[in-house]
């Protein structure tokens, strides 16, 4: 198992270098993209500050706690996209053209290669901005600290990473039937709901976002730091395992549908 | 005109074939504004002071959804790909101007998307119990005029961005930068009246507002009298400017263009 782990970390490293060199091929584009990412992340930060500063408390959330939630989401989701990049967006064209063989025939796990073959190192800047916003908001808030807070935060953060990945992977896998990435694009758009604390939405939406597990992406994590724990606070690791297993089984099932250009 | 309609019909049929994509695209178009609407309603429900009332916010965002069905474009990457791969050579020999082809393709697809989007928007109208704004007939006429110009304007901007591929290897940075500016300054995400007055004055002279927010502002009675005339004139100015820019880019781009067989 240790050997396998080392092997996949090495492959991940190689894919990272490949993606970095590819992005540096068009340096001007990369610089513009970095500015764009910084600009639009900061614009959303300003928007959120402008929205929520108009009311002192919204459904129990202050402006600073909402910013904390935004920081958690941005750091987490952008961090995920550093590794995912355009891989899932590129899956549908590869399936349509029968060109997925190049990745399926390699001596490594297919889902792993399909997920991480087109990374976006540029998203690191968004991740860093997310962490800065997180630290800024954390500094302004009275954080509830006991022996459980930080370990629970770390476990929930990692679980959220896994849940987000699995959620996106499931929708990307539908490309084997639809031959387009529209469903994946829709799932990606839907995830951005989690940049807001979901408690501010109407009750029906909160129940919906507990089933589509958006509430576990950032809201539960932020609640933990603010000292608000309930049953949902301890569910995310188990949910992460369930989602990972399901996404894996679904991908394996979908691969049976694939026929390559030479089949 | 016949050729234009033929292209639009082909795009319409293409859209019908890929109706699942059209439905998903329509859903994606609506989710963004819907989320922002719910967030704003939460702020108002918590006693927040906002420049628009709850009713106005609901009307604004649902009208934005309607406007965005028409005022949307997605051709820039396809144009850039055609130029890069040499496939645009085929269009140089077609008996239809490239602009007319792209407009026809855009409108044909939009008719299919409109079908799915309008059903969804109608459901939201019912759920949110939206009332039609009490606007006079003249304002409706000007709003429709502005609405039509908005659609042509965004397509012109999109085509101009795509034609930059005659000079650039990859237009993605320009395309994405425009998307960010569009998102912030068009009013699609946040009503422009939320911004401070001096920033709103800057928006008046930029093209982004006239792609989404301006037709909605006319319907909501936020642009009347002299301001209405000025706004429509500025919108027309941008439309003409981007048309002239298209002509320049297309003419000069063809001089630079080379492909196998040329």
Residue with structure tokens 């949910």?
A239
Structure tokens at B210: 């006239």
Interface contact A202-B170, CB threshold 8 A: no
Interface contact B38-A36, CB threshold 8 A: no
Q: Which residue pairs, CB below 8 angstroms and at least 24 apart, start in A28-35?
A: A28/B173, A29/B170, A29/B172, A29/B173, A30/A122, A32/B173, A32/B174, A32/B176, A32/B177, A33/A122, A33/B172, A33/B173, A33/B176, A34/A122, A34/A125
**Interface check B189 vs A, CB under 8 A:** yes
Separation of alpha carbons A53 and A47, rounded Å: 10
Separation of alpha carbons B121 and B150, rounded Å: 20
What pLDDT was estimated at residue A75? Answer: 94
**pLDDT reading at A1 higher than 80:** no
Point out the least confidently predicted range of A52-66, A113-127, B132-146, B197-211.
A52-66
What pLDDT digit, counting tens, does each position of A184-243 carry?
888 888 888 898 888 888 777 777 777 678 889 999 999 999 888 888 889 999 999 999
Q: H or E stretch including A62?
A: strand A61-62
Interface contact B28-A32, CB threshold 8 A: no
Burial status of residue B172 (CB atoms within 10 A of its CB: 0-12, 13-18, 19 or more): middle
Interface contact B43-A57, CB threshold 8 A: no
Q: H or E stretch including B28?
A: helix B19-45
Instruction: Using pLDDT thresholds of 50, 70 and 90, give the confidence band for residue A163.
Output: very high
Residue with structure tokens 């110009």?
B149
**Interface check A232 vs B, CB under 8 A:** no
Instruction: Using pLDDT thresholds of 50, 70 and 90, give the confidence band for residue A22.
Output: confident
What pLDDT was estimated at residue B187? Answer: 87
What pLDDT was estimated at residue B150? Answer: 94
Beta strand extents in chain B (DSSP E only): none
Residue A203's Cα: distance from chain center in Å? 24
Structure tokens at A132: 């800065």
- Between chain A and chain B, how many beta carbons pairs sit less than 8 Å apart? 81
Q: Which residues contact B108 (CB under 8 A, 6 or more apart)?
A: B7, B8, B9, B10, B11, B12, B13, B14, B15
Separation of alpha carbons B247 and B97, rounded Å: 11
**pLDDT reading at A263 higher than 60:** no
**Interface check A205 vs B, CB under 8 A:** yes
Decide which of A40 and A80 is more confident.
A80
Q: H or E stretch including B64?
A: helix B54-70
Pure H helices in chain A: 2-25, 27-52, 63-84, 91-97, 101-104, 110-116, 124-140, 149-173, 175-178, 182-191, 203-211, 219-225, 236-255
Instruction: Using pLDDT thresholds of 50, 70 and 90, give the confidence band for residue A170.
Output: very high
Structure tokens at A53: 């500063």
Percent of chain A residues topping a pLDDT of 70 = 97
What pLDDT was estimated at residue B260? Answer: 62
B126 Cα to chain A: minimum distance (Å) = 17
Interface contact B18-A47, CB threshold 8 A: no
Output phi, psi for A183, to 5 deg: -65, -40
**Interface check B196 vs A, CB under 8 A:** no
**Interface check B43 vs A, CB under 8 A:** yes
Q: What is the ipTM of this complex?
A: 0.78
- How many CB atoms neighbour CB B29 within 10 A? 22
What pLDDT was estimated at residue A261? Answer: 60
Interface with chain A: mutation pick from B46, B74, B177, B199, highest number of A CBs within 10 Å? B46
**Interface check A186 vs B, CB under 8 A:** yes
Q: Which residues contact B46 (CB under 8 A, 6 or more apart)?
A: A55, A57, A58, A59
- How many CB atoms neighbour CB B159 within 10 A? 24
Q: Which residues contact A49 (CB under 8 A, 6 or more apart)?
A: A63, A67
Angle at A20 between CA A19 and CA A21, to 5 degrees: 90
Interface contact B173-A29, CB threshold 8 A: yes
Taking alpha carbons only, the member of B69, B52, B204, B231 closest to residue B143 is B231
Whether the CA torsion B202, B204, B205, B206 is positive or negative: it is: positive
Instruction: Using pLDDT thresholds of 50, 70 and 90, give the confidence band for residue A36.
Output: confident
Taking alpha carbons only, the member of B172, B210, B204 closest to residue B84 is B172
What pLDDT was estimated at residue A88? Answer: 92
3-state SS assignment for residue B217: helix
**pLDDT reading at A178 higher than 80:** yes
Decide which of B127 and A162 is more confident.
A162
- Give the residue on B whose Cα is nearest the Cα of A186: B28
Across the interface, which of B27, B43, B184 has its CB nearest the CB of A58? B43
What are the chain B neighbours of A40 within 8 Å (beta carbons)?
180, 183-184
Chunked into runs of 10 residues, chain B (262 residues) has average pLDDT values of 83 80 76 81 79 85 88 88 86 82 86 81 80 83 93 93 89 86 85 83 91 91 86 94 93 80 53
> From its phi and psi, is residue A40 left (phi > 0), alpha (psi between -120 and 50) or beta?
alpha
Interface contact A182-B31, CB threshold 8 A: no
Taking alpha carbons only, the member of A176, A160, A157 closest to residue A111 is A176
What pLDDT was estimated at residue A2? Answer: 80
Interface contact A54-B174, CB threshold 8 A: no
**Interface check A26 vs B, CB under 8 A:** yes
């Amino acid at each position: 198992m240790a050997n396998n782990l080392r092997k996949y970390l090495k492959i991940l490293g190689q894919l990272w270098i490949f993606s970095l060199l590819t992005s540096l091929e068009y340096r001007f584009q990369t610089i513009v993209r970095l500015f764009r990412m910084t600009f639009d992340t900061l614009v959303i930060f300003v928007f959120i500050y402008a929205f929520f500063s108009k009311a002192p408390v919204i459904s129990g959330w202050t402006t600073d706690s909402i910013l904390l939630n935004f920081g958690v989401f941005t750091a987490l989701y952008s961090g995920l996209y550093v590794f995912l990049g355009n891989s899932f967006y590129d899956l549908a064209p590869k399936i349509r053209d029968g060109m997925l063989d190049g990745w399926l025939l390699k001596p490594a796990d297919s889902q792993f290669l399909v997920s991480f073959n087109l990374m976006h190192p540029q998203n690191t800047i968004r991740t860093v901005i997310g962490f800065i916003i997180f630290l800024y908001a954390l500094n302004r808030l009275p954080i509830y600290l006991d022996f459980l807070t930080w370990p629970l935060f770390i476990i929930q953060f990692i679980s959220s990473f896994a849940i987000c990945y699995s959620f996106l992977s499931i929708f990307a896998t539908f490309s084997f039937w639809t031959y387009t990435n529209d469903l994946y694009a829709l799932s990606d758009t839907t995830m951005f709901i989690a940049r807001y604390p979901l408690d501010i939405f109407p009750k029906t939406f909160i129940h919906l976002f507990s089933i589509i597990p958006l509430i576990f992406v950032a809201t539960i994590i932020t609640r933990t730091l603010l000292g608000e724990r309930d049953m949902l606070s301890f569910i995310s690791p188990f949910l992460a395992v369930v989602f990972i297993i399901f996404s894996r089984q679904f991908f394996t099932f979908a691969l049976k549908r694939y026929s390559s250009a030479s089949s | 005109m016949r050729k234009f309609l033929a292209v639009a019909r082909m795009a319409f049929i293409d859209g019908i074939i890929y109706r699942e994509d059209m439905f998903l695209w329509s859903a994606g178009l609506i989710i963004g504004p819907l989320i922002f609407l719910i967030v704003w309603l939460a702020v108002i429900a918590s006693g927040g002071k906002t420049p628009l009332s709850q009713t106005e916010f609901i009307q604004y965002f649902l009208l934005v959804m309607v406007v965005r069905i028409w005022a949307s474009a997605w051709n820039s990457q396809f144009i850039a790909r055609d130029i890069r791969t040499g496939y645009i050579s085929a269009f140089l020999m077609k008996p239809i101007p490239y602009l007319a082809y792209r407009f026809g393709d855009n409108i044909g697809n939009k008719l299919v998307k409109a079908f799915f989007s309008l059903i969804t928007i109608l459901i939201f109208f019912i759920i949110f119990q939206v009332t039609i704004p009490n606007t006079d007939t003249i304002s409706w006429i000007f709003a429709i005029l502005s609405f039509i110009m908005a659609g042509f304007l965004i397509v012109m901007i999109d085509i101009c961005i795509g034609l930059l591929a005659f000079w650039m290897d990859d237009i993605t940075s320009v395309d994405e930068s425009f998307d960010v500016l569009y998102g912030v300054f068009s009013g699609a995400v946040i009503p422009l009246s939320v911004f401070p007055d001096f920033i709103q004055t800057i928006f008046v002279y930029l093209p982004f507002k006239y792609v989404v927010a301006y037709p909605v502002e006319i319907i909501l009675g936020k642009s009347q009298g002299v301001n209405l005339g000025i706004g429509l004139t500025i919108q027309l100015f941008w439309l003409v400017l981007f048309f002239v820019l298209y002509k320049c880019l297309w003419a000069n781009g063809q001089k630079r263009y080379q492909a196998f067989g040329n």
